[in-house]
Structure 1
Amino acid sequence: MKVTFLGTGTSQGVPVIGCACQVCSSVDYRDKRLRVSVHLQVNSKSIIIDAGPDFRQQVLRERIKTLDALVFTHEHKDHTAGLDDIRAYNFSQNKDMPIYAEERVLKQLKQEFSYIFADFKYPGIPQVQLHPITNAPFEVEGVPFIPVRVKHYKLPVFGYRIGDFTYITDANFISEEEKDKVRGSKVIVLNALREEPHISHFSLQQAIDLLQELKPERAYLTHISHLLGQHREVEPRLPDFIRLAYDGLQLEV
């Protein structure tokens, strides 16, 4: 499986336009963080987890010519706002786009993109197939997914384990039962918003502590805010098996 980080950033802590902070003014490409999303190439299947406001820019940058399905972690706009841009894939692939999410998230998508689901469908709007999921294993176009229930403050969110790869974003609590689903993963991706504690995201130290408990071979931090600082300053302070992810980073798992 090839994993490509489409985005590793967040809307949290983003400065105003024209900000000259160290991250905004950095010439290091690793500090250019679009909203968090990841692309999975599993054999012949192309799957994206979350499609935020930067979705179109991300898939163009990575030249993702085909897309077999979208999987959502939760309903927040920085993870769903790019849904409209699947229409290009509808046109080029001549088929509806399968969407996988839990019922609550699908309901929110129906509200925010009501024109997609209207009785009268305007020509050219996105075409979708909705697939409700629960906290039980499921398949996306034949690829096995294991959902991992985490909490984003009080909001239930799904992370996902696909083979030896586990992807968790927007979390600050994972129960022991759900940790057991993650154990044994060779690669874990986990959110780490900033140094200071946050009401709904793991801080850097909390993420490190959890990864040291779960003991993957490799781990990558994502959903990084400007407040965490520059890549070149943060990464040298991490344990050897943990790295900061960056937009465009590719892994073989």
Structure 2
Amino acid sequence: MMSQRMQITFLGTGTSQGIPILGSKHPVCLSDNQKDKRLRVSVLVQWEGQNYVIDCGPDFRQQLLKNPIDRLDGILFTHEHSDHTAGIDDIRPFFFRQGDIDIYAHERVITALRRRFDYIFADEDRYPGAPAVSVHPIDKDSSFILNGAKVVPVEVLHNRLPVLGFRIKDFVYLTDAKKVEPEEMIKLKGCKVLVVNALRLEPHHSHFSLDEAVAFAKEVGAERTYFTHISHHLGFHDQVQATLPENVFLAYDNLKITL
């Protein structure tokens, strides 16, 4: 995609178990609507011919088979939870073609990844088939440049765990948020597209409920808002969408939007 436009592909929009949940007889898990089938949460962001992914969970390979790219220019990690990181081994085909893959994450997240995927981060005695990464530590106080675009990390609280979201140009991606401090809200001012989590109807200790997400979207005031990190308890996609305010949408797997 060789243009100034940015394309966002929702690789997955589900919560940690995905939808359908294994063995569940919940009506949403039994739905025939493809928009009710959600892989673990991740997005592909493309501009100026480069491809970046925010998070790579356990469905990463499956997601990129549906949305193929021939090059991966970097992964931005929000936090260390398994549904956001467990697919990192699937960078191997890109590593074999390109060499070390750039990853951007908080030092705490890098430490967790080193512990869980030590073979990827090994400096010596590397297993011949293992991928490798080039590590770029980031935090909420330091913006950085990717492919000519300024990236501003935005800290949200997932219960007590700090999680990084990202503003890239006029696109903001936040996930696993329950609270956003006023100094971080300032970073969202004037964004055109906001993506934020909306887990379910009932309140939750570490995620926005639907009502909380709607209120947050109103406060931010983006031109368009998309909800992600959705559980089966939110309800059927089409029924929930019919209740949302104008310019607020439920995202769904493989949805593509442009800025």
TM over 0.5: yes
1:244 aligns with 2:236: no
Alignment match, 1:108 = 112
Aligned residues: 252
Q: Which amino acid aligns with 2:229?
A: H
Against the structure 1 CA distance between its residues 91 and 190, is the aligned structure 2 distance closer, same or farther, given a 3 Å change threshold?
Answer: same
The answer to whether the 8 A contact 1:68-1:141 is kept is no
Alignment match, 1:196 = 202
- How far residue 12 of structure 1 moved from its aligned partner, in angstroms, is 5.4
1:20 aligns with 2:29: no
> Map of 1:4-43 to 2, 5 A cutoff?
4-11=9-16, 17-43=22-48
Whole-Å separation in 2 of the counterparts to 1:17 and 1:109: 26
Of 159, 162, 165, 2:165 maps to: 159
1:140 aligns with 2:142: no
> Map of 1:1-253 to 2, 5 A cutoff?
1-11=6-16, 17-93=22-98, 95-118=99-122, 119-135=124-140, 136-253=142-259
- How far residue 22 of structure 1 moved from its aligned partner, in angstroms, is 1.7
Whole-Å separation in 2 of the counterparts to 1:173 and 1:16: 27
Q: Which amino acid aligns with 1:97?
A: I
5+ long unaligned stretches in structure 2: 1-5
Normalised to the residue count of structure 1, the TM-score between the two structures is 0.96
Whole-Å separation in 2 of the counterparts to 1:9 and 1:190: 12
- How far residue 27 of structure 1 moved from its aligned partner, in angstroms, is 1.2
Whole-Å separation in 2 of the counterparts to 1:88 and 1:224: 29
The answer to whether the 8 A contact 1:35-1:78 is kept is yes
- How far residue 117 of structure 1 moved from its aligned partner, in angstroms, is 2.3
Normalised to the residue count of structure 2, the TM-score between the two structures is 0.94
- How far residue 26 of structure 1 moved from its aligned partner, in angstroms, is 1.1
- How far residue 17 of structure 1 moved from its aligned partner, in angstroms, is 2.4
Whole-Å separation in 2 of the counterparts to 1:65 and 1:221: 28
Whole-Å separation in 1 of the counterparts to 2:93 and 2:28: 33
Against the structure 1 CA distance between its residues 16 and 239, is the aligned structure 2 distance closer, same or farther, given a 3 Å change threshold?
Answer: closer
The answer to whether the 8 A contact 2:19-2:29 is kept is no
